[in-house]
Amino acid sequence: MTVQINTDNNVEGHARLKTYIAEELATALARFEDKITRLEVHLADENSDKFGVNDKRCLIEARPINMQPVAVTNHADTTEKAFQGALDKIKKMLDTAFEKQKAY
């Protein structure tokens, strides 16, 4: 499972943040490791330098084997909270998608 982390110009994509995200994804999605080829994480600050409520966005796209890609988005007041919310959503979505695939 390949993990790619992208940030816009307003989010610092330092090594510590990328390591944290990669480790969290590996831990949370370990049971899907053989079913997913790639994960892409996109972090953005939608208001740039201005302060705003829930202006940090995290989009996580998963590319399961033999299935269409699935993506979720979460907004929060910090990058970490936006990522954690998106991680919860993608776990639920993948659970549902793979359960449906088993049913057929």
Mode of pairing for the β-strands spanning 2-7 and 36-45: parallel
Mean pLDDT, all residues of the chain: 90
Tokens 């831990």 -> residue:
27
Instruction: Return the beta strands (E) in the chain as ranges.
Output: 2-7, 36-45, 56-64, 70-76
pTM value is: 0.90
pLDDT digits (tens, 9 = 90+) for 66-76: 899 999 999 99
Query: Is domain 2-103 in CATH 3.30.160.100, yes or no?
Result: yes
- Checking DSSP bridges between strand 56-64 and strand 2-7, what pairing results, if any? unpaired
Is the pLDDT confidence value at 23 over 90? yes
List b or e across 74-89, with b for residues whose CB sees 16 or more CB atoms inside 10 angstroms. Answer: bbbeebbebbbbbbeb
